[in-house]
Structure 1
Amino acid sequence: MSTTPSTGSTPLIEAPRRRRWPLVLAALVAVAVVVGLLVALTGGDDEAAADRRSVRLGVVGASDPYWADFQDAAAEEGIDVEVVDFADYNQPNPAVAEGDLDMNQFQHIVFLADYDVASGEDLQPIGATAIYPLGLHSKQYDSVEDIPDGATVAVPNDASNQARALVLLQSAGLIELRSGGTIFSDLADVDEDASRVEVKALDAALTATSLEDLAGAVVNNDFVEKAGLDFDDALAQDDPNDPKALPYANIFAVRADDVDDPTYRELVEIYQETQAVQDGVREVSGGTAVMLDTPVEQLQESLRQVEADTRAQQD
């Protein structure tokens, strides 16, 4: 029969002491892992943010749905595009020249050439988008033949679109141009005695909205649907497939120093290769847009030629 040791006596076998340092070490390792993960995650966010690029793009008609598709496609490639809307064709080019915008997309080559020569700037095309046919519309008549002699027809008042509109009116048999029709034709080129109608120049944004008071008007593609008109109702239109139509190819334009910028070139590719964008452009144009992927060198050569012709015209 065993006896129980008295209180306060030393146990026969002393229990081992608990070693705390492995627990401390494990805790430190766990903290280090968590901290490391946080740093890695935060650093990854910073690195990803640093890799993203931002571009300010000026357009006329930012409400067109395909611009949202373009922004989404660009964002997937790490490019945040701010689309800046303009109501006046005369504003986006100075904004690029002065550095308020990185690039713009609203004009054709003839318009850009006219701007460069008049302003002394050197904006350049870096990619094509589409050629849009120019149409003659009327709310009073159903055909060109129905337009009475002496009636008034409006054309855009900016130089490049005015010349194109006058050539269209000539091809429709409504006027005669003394020069035969060139990219420099203006109202002074109209042979009034040989023409069936009188021609009036209006701001491009007003030609469509003035149709109630006119026999007809040549309306830029941008303003057809906005004015409640139907592309299919045009009494006449020019042919965007004509090889001579290249100067009327719409383009992305940048400062001359930026023509080789990889981000801007990538945005052109995104525009040309994103199906939603291409389909959206055709839809907004009523199916009339002829989409382009013309080599940049051809666009720049066309610009040089039109600028040279413009300077020669002024001499």
Structure 2
Amino acid sequence: MASRFQARSTKLIAALAAVPLVLGLASCASGDGGSADDVVKIGVVGKGDPQWDAFEKAADEAGIDIELVDFSDYAQPNPATTEGELDLNQFQHIVYLADYNVSAGQDLTPIGSTAIYPLGLYSTKVDDVADIEKGDTVAVPNDASNQARALLVLQSAGLVELKSGGTIFSDLADIDEENSKVKVTALEASLTPTSLPDVAAAIINNDYVADAGLSFEDAIAQDDPSDPNALPYVNIFATRAEDADNETYLKLVEIFQTDPDVQAGLLEASGDTAVPLEVSVADLQDSLAKVEADTEEAKG
């Protein structure tokens, strides 16, 4: 990966992000350091993960009052941030954010990195990719960014062949069905785990692995976290562009990246699969701009 950003792992990196809000979002955000009641509201997927309890404690010790607002899938944190119902969110990678910004005409921006997570293929029917039979069906997430990445995992595993060779914009239409071993169906990301009884295997985003009664070690295939083209898949804190220099928000990013209990919780939640890292904000924003430009071109 480009030498301009610094990872705490010695490995180069690769990797995240619709059901209504679990909690109501009462107050609107102000641009000068938090919401109207001085509580920084942060949208997450998987509030029960151990890093968040540690993060709340560390933020409190730093004198920052935060409220974690939990979502059960990826569709709503970005709109809630755009509308000022959240101050920050942390659930997605750059590719997902770029697709949202282009599709919605918005300007959310990354202000810090967290980690990259390998994306895995899981099955309750077979223990090895080689045991998946020709003509079997495999499920993948239906959102554009995660679907493309899922198809690249399937191609690496020898289950599909992509006409383009595979890009961050690949979709089901890019599958060369004649030369692919399996059929692929796309489902909302939170439903891929529940599809396991009905398909040979499914790509399951990390947020839903434990909920499916699986462990990360159960993956029968996954992508490579040392891929040098990984920067677009780094997970990020995001906020509105007007708040990108907010000192309180940047302090929260620093706490997440450096607090040992937060980092330990992050690794625990991912089954030690996460690759924690610190990427400069400039590099994150440069990557977002490039992916947004590519996304606009791909959407025509």
- Name the TM-score, length of structure 2 as normaliser: 0.87
User: How many matched pairs?
Assistant: 264
Residue of structure 2 equivalent to 1:183: 168
Instruction: Please give the per-residue CA displacement for 1:221-259, whole angstroms capped at 9, x wherever unaligned.
Output: 111111111211211100122121110100000000000
- Which amino acid counterpart does residue 80 of structure 2 have in structure 1? A
Question: Within 5 Å, which residues of 2 pair with 1:260-275?
Answer: 260-275=245-260
Q: Does 1:311 find its partner at 2:284?
A: no
Q: Does 1:287 find its partner at 2:295?
A: no
SS in 1 for 2:138: strand
- Which amino acid counterpart does residue 142 of structure 1 have in structure 2? D
Residue of structure 2 equivalent to 1:54: 39
* Deviation of 1:53 (Å): 4.6
Q: Does 1:135 find its partner at 2:136?
A: no
Instruction: Please give the per-residue CA displacement for 1:256-312, whole angstroms capped at 9, x wherever unaligned.
Output: 000000000000000001111101011110110000111111110110000000011
Farther-moved stretch of structure 1 (52-61 vs 83-92):
52-61
* Deviation of 1:179 (Å): 0.7
Q: Does 1:217 find its partner at 2:195?
A: no
8 Å CA contact 2:50, 2:268 repeated in 1: no
Percent of aligned pairs sharing the same letter = 64
SS in 1 for 2:89: strand
- Which amino acid counterpart does residue 152 of structure 1 have in structure 2? T
* Deviation of 1:68 (Å): 1.3
CA distance, structure 2, for counterparts of residue 71 and residue 283 of structure 1 = 17
Instruction: Please give the per-residue CA displacement for 1:40-92, whole angstroms capped at 9, x wherever unaligned.
Output: xxxxxxxxxxxx95200000011112211101100111100100001120100
Kindly indicate which of the two structures has a greater share of residues assigned to helix.
1
- Which amino acid counterpart does residue 142 of structure 2 have in structure 1? N
8 Å CA contact 2:162, 2:174 repeated in 1: yes
Residue of structure 2 equivalent to 1:231: 216
Instruction: Please give the per-residue CA displacement for 1:19-60, whole angstroms capped at 9, x wherever unaligned.
Output: xxxxxxxxxxxxxxxxxxxxxxxxxxxxxxxxx952000000
Q: Does 1:205 find its partner at 2:186?
A: no
Name which one, 1 or 2, has greater alpha-carbon Rg: 1
- Name the TM-score, length of structure 1 as normaliser: 0.83
- Which amino acid counterpart does residue 264 of structure 1 have in structure 2? Y
Q: Does 1:155 find its partner at 2:140?
A: yes
Residue of structure 1 equivalent to 2:16: none
CA distance, structure 1, for counterparts of residue 299 and residue 49 of structure 2 = 37
8 Å CA contact 1:86, 1:92 repeated in 2: yes
- Which amino acid counterpart does residue 191 of structure 1 have in structure 2? D
8 Å CA contact 2:99, 2:292 repeated in 1: yes
Instruction: Please give the per-residue CA displacement for 1:83-133, whole angstroms capped at 9, x wherever unaligned.
Output: 000112010000000000001000000000000000000000000001000
8 Å CA contact 1:53, 1:78 repeated in 2: no
Residue of structure 2 equivalent to 1:107: 92
Higher relative contact order, chain-length normalized (CA < 8 Å, sep 6+): 2
Q: Does 1:75 find its partner at 2:60?
A: yes
Residue of structure 1 equivalent to 2:181: 196
CA distance, structure 2, for counterparts of residue 152 and residue 92 of structure 1 = 31
SS in 2 for 1:268: helix
- Which amino acid counterpart does residue 111 of structure 2 have in structure 1? I
Residue of structure 2 equivalent to 1:86: 71
- Which amino acid counterpart does residue 286 of structure 2 have in structure 1? E
- Which amino acid counterpart does residue 187 of structure 1 have in structure 2? L
SS in 2 for 1:243: coil
8 Å CA contact 1:55, 1:82 repeated in 2: yes
- Which amino acid counterpart does residue 119 of structure 2 have in structure 1? L
SS in 1 for 2:194: coil
Residue of structure 1 equivalent to 2:242: 257
Q: Does 1:297 find its partner at 2:274?
A: no
Q: Does 1:63 find its partner at 2:48?
A: yes
Aligned residues: CA RMSD = 0.9
8 Å CA contact 1:109, 1:248 repeated in 2: yes
